[in-house]
Every structure is written in structure tokens, then in C-alpha cells.
């Protein structure tokens, strides 16, 4: 019997994945739980095993192609006859079914993340297919064909689905249709994709996978959150000296000590005092969510683009423990092996390029967080100290904030609080933050 395997729901908010590599080919014999295919989403790379033994009849999604959740990826011939097939041969006059039933739920083996092996049970193909069906209701908007994730996006962006021009199959409204409707001014030409004609020697790279996901998330943030930026200069001289003294002790414990653990500690203290910065706007419920937990994201450049590694419960970690976790996350991201747990759930994000940090930037908020802090390079510059000109280690901080959630006063006071703890780092240990 031909078994159609559909891409299961492999993570919250994931609606599609790119087929990175098939580990089988048509005609191969599959064993139960045998690794079958690697799929890359915007969250992580997932290895999907075979849900049953059999022979590969047909591969329907080629490597490098995008597969939607619920779409048939591969057909497996498991050698079994369909239920009732033998009876049909002896009873040809059997009445045809008058009611179409969904396929029976088939338990799938656990999925494994390529980074850590932490997996989650996949939903059945039938359940996934049901989740992806268009919802048909009674109102004008409900009659629009759209996946649940697209409807949720439309609600979050304040877009009327009934007014969106669909470009998907069978007149379905896609997520890109919703984003284009949100960004574009009125007029039929506004939703036409821009074409870049060839102009000479070029390299053309498919716009998909993580790069496309980053672009979509950044566009959503920029056109949803009302960004404003505040900048402050920080004298890091005392912290530079403290880190220099602590580096050897950290190395003895196997920790590569950067400035980030100290900055995270200062940030946590600021977030506790100014909770509107550690917040999100629940647009569906029209609620401001002030979070009393502190999962700090770190924007890190990986081989597939920018990812945000998440240091969980940063308020409960020591400086050395923060150093270990920062290094672990950075290595996992650079190796392309970060798990979904490593990349989701941040409440506030820090963007730092170290010595490449430049003088100033206006980072885009990691939506749906309220703010993101840009950390720039530390450089020796002249400064006035006690009425005298002195050479000091100075650094700029820039914070981008969603003005829907927090005001300029809150942002400025938060940065000033962070500045106090960075300029006098002994306070970090006195306050035990």
C-alpha cells in the first residue's frame, strides 16, 4: 500500500521547510526509524526518520525546494494491502462509502534536532493536514482561503484578509500577500514583486531558507513595531581593568571571558527596574505583557545568516556561567547545529559585533520583543574626568524600542541604569544581580 508521508508540524510558528538532503533515493528499502531526510526551517535543521518500513516509491520534493507543512514529501510502499482489499475481490457489489473519512492517525517516531538530539514527537500526517486546511466560516473574512498561520499574521498586522489579493494556489492568501498588503500603499501596482533585470556578470542565489526567514522577520518587525532609537556613551575603563584581572581565573575554569557576561548582568538589573523594556504587546488580546523572567538573546552571525542564541534565566547565572553559555551558543550557531531551544524564547536581545561594532547602529527589534540593545566597540578616546582631559575606554550603547510599548523616558532611564553598572562594575556584585 502506498503511504504518503507529509511534512509534519515541527515547531511552533513553522509553516514550511527547505529540503536540505535526502538520505534515501527512489527504490531504496527503508527500515523503521531509519533517517530519511534533513529539513531546514528558520528555527533549526531537523532530521526526520521513516515512520514505517517499506520501499521508497517516489520522492516528491527535491533537495533545495521548499515544502509546506502538510505537503506530501515522499511515497512509501510498505507492501501491505489496503484494509478491505481482499474482501473487495470476493464482494464486488459492496456499496461505495458515502462519507469520506480522514486517514487514520499514524504515530510518527520522534524528530531529532541536529544540534543536541533534543526532539519532540511529530504530529500525525492526518492531524497536520487538518491543521493546514483553509478555514471556511460565516463572515466575509472567514470565507477567504488562508492557512491558520496566515490568519494569525493578518490579525497581528491589522490586515483585513478580505481586502488582500491572493496569489496562492486555488486563490489562497499567503503570508507574503498579507505582508505586501501591510506595506504597500493603495493601488494595484503596489503588490507587484520587483524584478531586477540582468546587468552584467552576476551570481544569483535562491532566496529561501534561513536568509528568507530573516528577511521576513525583519520586515515584519520594521513595519509593525514603531521603532525609535536612543544613544548613550559609556565609560568602560573600570570594566576593562576588571575583565583583565579576571581573564586568567576564568581561563582556569575553562571560560573565555568577554565583556558580554558583564553587559548581560547590567542589562538584567536595568530590566528589573524598567519592566516595560522586558515586554511584548499581545495584539490579539490587547494586553501589555511585562515579563518577570529574563531570557537574553544574543544576535550571532552564523553560516546561514543572523541567528539569536538565547541565554535562559540570565538573572540566576554567575559571570563565569554566563561566559560558558555564551560560548556554547556561539559555537552551536556557527556550526549550524543550534537547537530550537537555543534559538527561541528571548525576552530582550543584545546585538554586538565586538571590535567590529562600529560607532553607532540602529538595530531592528527582535519582534515581538519591546527593545534591542546595540553594543558598539570599546575604543580609547579623550574624555574630561574631574576637569582634566584623560584617555578613557569609551563605548556607545544604542537601544531601539517599540514606541507602542515603552516611551522614550523609559528607554533613556533603562540605558542610564545599565550605564551605572558598567561604569562601576563592583555594583554588580554588591547588588547580586
Which are the catalytic amino acids? 403
CA 221 – CA 403 distance, rounded (Å):
12
CA 258 – CA 33 distance, rounded (Å):
43
Question: What SS3 state is found at 403?
Answer: coil
Asked if 173 and 159 touch (Cβ cutoff 8 Å), the reply is: no
H-helix segments, 85-236: 85-90, 125-132, 148-157, 175-183, 209-224
C-alpha grid cell, residue 96? 461505495
Asked if 395 and 413 touch (Cβ cutoff 8 Å), the reply is: no
Kindly state the DSSP code that residue 173 receives in the 8-state scheme: B
Residue 334 is inside which H or E element, if any? helix 319-334
* Strand boundaries in 50-94, DSSP class E: 54-59, 66-68, 72-77
Asked if 336 and 304 touch (Cβ cutoff 8 Å), the reply is: yes
CA 216 – CA 42 distance, rounded (Å):
10
Asked if 157 and 182 touch (Cβ cutoff 8 Å), the reply is: yes
One DSSP character per residue, 294-320 reads: --EEEEEEETTEEEEEEETTGGG--HH
Residue 410 is inside which H or E element, if any? helix 408-423
Facing residues of 326 across strands? none
Q: Scanning the structure block, which residue is given the C-alpha cell 547565572? A: 317
CA 131 – CA 136 distance, rounded (Å):
13
Secondary structure tally for the chain: helices H, strands E = 11, 18
Facing residues of 351 across strands? 299, 374
Pairing, β 296-302 against β 305-311: antiparallel
Q: What is the dihedral of CA 141, 10, 204, 180, to 10 degrees?
A: 20
Q: What b/e string do you get for 312-323 counting C-beta neighbours within 10 Å, with b at 16 or more?
A: bebbebebbebb
Amino acid at each position: 500500500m502506498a503511504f504518503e508521508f507529509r511534512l509534519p508540524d515541527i515547531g511552533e510558528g513553522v509553516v514550511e521547510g527547505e529540503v536540505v538532503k535526502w538520505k534515501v533515493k527512489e527504490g531504496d528499502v527503508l527500515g523503521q526509524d531509519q533517517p530519511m531526510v534533513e529539513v531546514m526551517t528558520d528555527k533549526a535543521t531537523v532530521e526526520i526518520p521513516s515512520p514505517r518500513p517499506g520501499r521508497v516509491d517516489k520522492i516528491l520534493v527535491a533537495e533545495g525546494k521548499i515544502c509546506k507543512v502538510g505537503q506530501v514529501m515522499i511515497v512509501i510502499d510498505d507492501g501491505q494491502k489496503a484494509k478491505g482489499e481482499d474482501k473487495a475481490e470476493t464482494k464486488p457489489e459492496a456499496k461505495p462509502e458515502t462519507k469520506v473519512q480522514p486517514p487514520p492517525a499514524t504515530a510518527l517516531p520522534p524528530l531529532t534536532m541536529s544540534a543536541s538530539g533534543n526532539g519532540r514527537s511529530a504530529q500525525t500526517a492526518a492531524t497536520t493536514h487538518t491543521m493546514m486546511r483553509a478555514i471556511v466560516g460565516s463572515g466575509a473574512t472567514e470565507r477567504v482561503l488562508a492557512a491558520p498561520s496566515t490568519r494569525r499574521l493578518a490579525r497581528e498586522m491589522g490586515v483585513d484578509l478580505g481586502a488582500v489579493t491572493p496569489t496562492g494556489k486555488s486563490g489562497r492568501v499567503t503570508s507574503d500577500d498579507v505582508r505586501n498588503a501591510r506595506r504597500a500603499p493603495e493601488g494595484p501596482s503596489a503588490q507587484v514583486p520587483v524584478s531586477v533585470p540582468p546587468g552584467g556578470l552576476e551570481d544569483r542565489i535562491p532566496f529561501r531558507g534561513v536568509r528568507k526567514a530573516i528577511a521576513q522577520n525583519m520586515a515584519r518587525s520594521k513595519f509593525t513595531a514603531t521603532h525609535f532609537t536612543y544613544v548613550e556613551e559609556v565609560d568602560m575603563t573600570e570594566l576593562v581593568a576588571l575583565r583583565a584581572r579576571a581573564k586568567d581565573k576564568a581561563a582556569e575554569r575553562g571560560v573565555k571571558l568577554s565583556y558580554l557576561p558583564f553587559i548581560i548582568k547590567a542589562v538584567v538589573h536595568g530590566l528589573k527596574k524598567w519592566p516595560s523594556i522586558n515586554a511584548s504587546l499581545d495584539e490579539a488580546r490587547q494586553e501589555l505583557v511585562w515579563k518577570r523572567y529574563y531570557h537574553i538573546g544574543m544576535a550571532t552571525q552564523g553560516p546561514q545568516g543572523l541567528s539569536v542564541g538565547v541565554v535562559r534565566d540570565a538573572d540566576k547565572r554567575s559571570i563565569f556561567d554566563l561566559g560558558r553559555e555564551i560560548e556554547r551558543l556561539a559555537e552551536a550557531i556557527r556550526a549550524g547545529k543550534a537547537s530550537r531551544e537555543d534559538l527561541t524564547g528571548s525576552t530582550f536581545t543584545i546585538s554586538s559585533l565586538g571590535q567590529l561594532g562600529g560607532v553607532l547602529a540602529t538595530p531592528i527589534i527582535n519582534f515581538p520583543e519591546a527593545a534591542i540593545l546595540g553594543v558598539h566597540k570599546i575604543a580609547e578616546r579623550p574624555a574630561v574626568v574631574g576637569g582634566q582631559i584623560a584617555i578613557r575606554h569609551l563605548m556607545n550603547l544604542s537601544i531601539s524600542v517599540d514606541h507602542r510599548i515603552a516611551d522614550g523616558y523609559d528607554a533613556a532611564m533603562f540605558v542610564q541604569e545599565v550605564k551605572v553598572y558598567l561604569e562601576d562594575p563592583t555594583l554588580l556584585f554588591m547588588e547580586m544581580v
